[in-house]
Amino acid sequence: MLNIRSTDNWITVPKPNPKANLRLFCFPYAGGSSIVFRSWLDKLPDNI
């Protein structure tokens, strides 16, 4: 289980899923931010 402090700016979990059995880490391109992956949240299966 991944334990993330709320003060940790390196990893964001905008929509935690306690039932997930797989965790996907996405790294943005140079100069980008995690916002490029926000549209993926509703498109991923429930197990991720």
The mean pLDDT values, 10 residues at a time, for the chain of 48 residues are 58 80 87 86 87
Task: Please report the pLDDT score of residue 17 as a whole number.
Answer: 84
Characterise 15 by phi-psi region: left (phi > 0), alpha (psi -120 to 50), beta (else).
beta
Number of compact structural domains in the chain: 1
Q: Which residue range is the domain that position 13 belongs to?
A: 1-48
The per-residue pLDDT for 4 is: 55
DSSP reduced 3-state for 34: helix
